[in-house]
Amino acid sequence: MIVSWNGILLSEDEVRVSPFDGGVLRGEGVFETMRADSGRIIHWSKHYRRLLASSERFGFNVPESSMLQDEIEEVLRANQLEEKTVRVRLTHLGKILITAVELLEQESPFRVGLSSYPINERGALLGMKVCSYAENMIILKESQMNEMIRPNLQGNLCEGCVSNVFYVMGDEIRTPSLENGCLPGISRERLLEKMPSIVEGTWPIDTIKEAREVWLSNATHLLTWVNELDGRNLGQPSQLFLSLLDHLRTVR
C-alpha cells in the first residue's frame, strides 16, 4: 500500500520510525479514523477539530486543514481507492502517517457483550482519541464478540471499545453523556444534531439489558444495529435505525 508519511508518498515498507519515538515506546500519539466515500472524507471538519484538540495536549503542531485533505486525497488516488468506500486513518506521532484501505462489511449477526472492565471517567486522557488502544483490543479479543460495552468506574454505562452507544427504552432514545467518560464520537455528534430529542444522561450499565434496540456509532461504519446483546436476540433493524443510518451516509 502507498501511505503518506509527513506529507511524502511512500510504499508501506519505506516508512521509517525512530526506535526512540514516544508513540512507539509509550503510545504517545493521537489518531482519527475516518470514512471516505467516492474520494471524499465524511465529516472532515469535525475530525479535524478533534485532531487539533487532542494534538494540542501532546504539543503536536497540526498542518492546515486543506493541506491534510490534499494528502488524504493523494493516498486515495495512489491506491486507486477514489471510487470505493474507504477506511482512512491519520496518526499523529509528531509526524503524520496517513493510511487508507477499502472498508469491509461488518459481520452479521453483530454480537455484543457487557464488559466488567471499567473506563476511568476522571482520567487525564478523557475525550482524547489516543494511540493507547491496547486495553480495548485485549477486551475485544478475549470476548470473541464483535464489540464490548464498558462501564465507567461508577458502574454506569459508558461506551464500547470502538464505538459510542445508543439505546431505545420505550419511546426514548438514550446515550451516555460525555461526563461518563465517553469519547466525543463524530457520528454520535451528528446523531445528536439530527435528533435533539435524544436524551444524554447517566444510567447503570445493566439498564441497557432491557433496551428494545441498541445501536453503536463510529466514524467508519456510522451506525450499527446490535442483533444480539449479552445473549439476548434483538431482531432485525427498525425503520428508525435505517432512517438514521441513511442520514449519516448522506450528510457531509
- In tens, the pLDDT along 186-221 reads 999 999 999 999 999 999 999 999 999 999 999 999
Q: Where in the chain is the domain with CATH 3.30.470.10?
A: 2-102
Peptide bond into 184 cis (omega under 30): no
Confidence of residue 156 (pLDDT cuts 50, 70, 90): very high
- pTM for the full predicted model: 0.93
Residue 252, pLDDT score = 62
Of the pLDDT bands very low, low, confident and very high (cuts 50, 70, 90), residue 112 is very high
Sign of CA dihedral 175, 155, 113, 90: positive
pLDDT given at position 251:
63
First to last CA, the chain: 27
Q: How confident is the model at residue 107 (pLDDT cuts 50, 70, 90)?
A: confident
Question: Rounded distance, CA 76 to CA 3, Å?
Answer: 9
Q: State how far the Cα of 84 lies from the Cα of 246, in Å rounded to an integer.
A: 18
Q: What kind of architecture, by CATH, is found in domain 111-250?
A: Alpha-Beta Barrel (3.20)
- Extract the C-alpha cell encoding 19: 526506535
**Of 2-6, 137-141, 170-174, 247-251, minimum mean pLDDT range:** 247-251
Given this structure, which CATH class describes domain 2-102?
alpha beta
Tell me if 127 sits within 8 A of 188, measured CB to CB.
Answer: no
Listed in order, the ranges of the chain carrying CATH 3.20.10.10 are 111-250
State yes or no: pLDDT of 148 exceeds 80: yes
Percent of the chain whose pLDDT exceeds 90: 89
pLDDT at 198: 97
Segment 56-71 shows an average pLDDT of 95
